[in-house]
């Protein structure tokens, strides 16, 4: 069964709540998940996953240093993640606080790895976002993000 790795940083649990909703979405599509704080995630986790979803709080309009350090370390597996499916999500302190630039920073890293990232024409275009603790609407977007990643993995499996 395909596996989706959800790797995130979170200090006050807002991003963690988002990660749980993302996981719910992946599972609802029948795929296996591994949800890990970034300090516990390994390069082997990246290599073994069919999908990679990254989550970070917005820190100064960017991802947390812990996530950036993990991505810098992922240089050791550069070229080996190509063709996997990915996505990103972020929690911020306030509207206009740089949450989209944070999501895009993680999406950029995924793209550099050759990971396939699907946009969303209707909801959060770049990835799921939340101001503080995710409310019902943000949770729904997170769940949808997980579902979309899982569905794309299944679609790619069917054609390969
Ligand atoms: C070091 C630091 C920098 C932050 N920078 C921003 C920022 O640039 N914009 C913003 O909207 N919120 C900022 N915040 C607020 C966090 O993004 C927000 O509280 C988030 O929900 C925390 O996620 P967590 O509960 O998963 O740790 C910052 C918080 C910290 C601790």
Return the residue whose CA atom lies nearest to atom 7 of ligand 1. Answer: 60
Q: Specify the DSSP class assigned to residue 127.
A: S
Centre of ligand 1 from the C-alpha of residue 59, in Å? 5
Is 55 near ligand 1, meaning CB less than 6 Å away?
A: no
Return the residue whose CA atom lies nearest to atom 2 of ligand 1. Answer: 59
In whole angstroms, what is the distance from residue 67 CA to residue 108 CA? 13
Predicted confidence (pLDDT) per residue in 124-149, tens digit: 999 999 999 999 999 999 999 999 99
Is 10 near ligand 1, meaning CB less than 6 Å away?
A: yes
Is 132 near ligand 1, meaning CB less than 6 Å away?
A: yes
The two counts, helices (H) then strands (E), for the chain are: 5, 6
Burial-class residue 95 by CB neighbours within 10 Å (0-12, 13-18, 19+).
exposed
Return the residue whose CA atom lies nearest to atom 19 of ligand 1. Answer: 93
Q: Tell me the β-bridge partners of 128.
A: 89
**pLDDT of amino acid 160:** 81
User: Dihedral sign, CA of 106, 109, 115, 119?
Assistant: positive
- What mean pLDDT comes out for the span 7-24? 98
Centre of ligand 1 from the C-alpha of residue 91, in Å? 7
Predicted confidence (pLDDT) per residue in 85-112, tens digit: 999 999 999 999 999 999 999 999 999 9
In whole angstroms, what is the distance from residue 24 CA to residue 69 CA? 27
Query: Considering only CA atoms, which of 29, 32, 53 is closest in space to residue 41?
Result: 53
> Does residue 23 surpass a pLDDT of 90?
yes
Is 15 near ligand 1, meaning CB less than 6 Å away?
A: yes
Identify whether the C-beta of residue 158 lies closer than 8 Å to the C-beta of residue 39.
Answer: no
């Amino acid at each position: 069964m395909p596996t989706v790795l959800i790797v995130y940083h979170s200090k006050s649990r807002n991003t963690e709540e988002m990660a749980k909703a993302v996981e719910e979405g992946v599972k609802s599509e029948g795929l296996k998940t591994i949800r890990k704080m970034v300090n516990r995630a390994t390069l082997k986790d990246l290599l073994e996953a069919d999908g990679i979803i990254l989550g970070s709080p917005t820190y100064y309009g960017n991802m947390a240093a812990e996530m950036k350090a993990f991505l810098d370390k992922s240089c050791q597996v550069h070229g080996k993640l190509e063709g996997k499916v990915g996505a990103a999500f972020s929690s911020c302190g306030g509207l206009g606080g740089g949450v989209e630039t944070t999501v895009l920073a993680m999406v950029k890293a995924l793209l550099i790895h050759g990971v396939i990232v699907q946009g969303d024409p209707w909801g959060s275009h770049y990835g799921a976002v939340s101001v503080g603790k995710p409310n019902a609407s943000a949770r729904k977007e997170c769940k949808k993000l997980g579902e979309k990643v899982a569905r794309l993995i299944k679609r790619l499996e069917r054609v390969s």
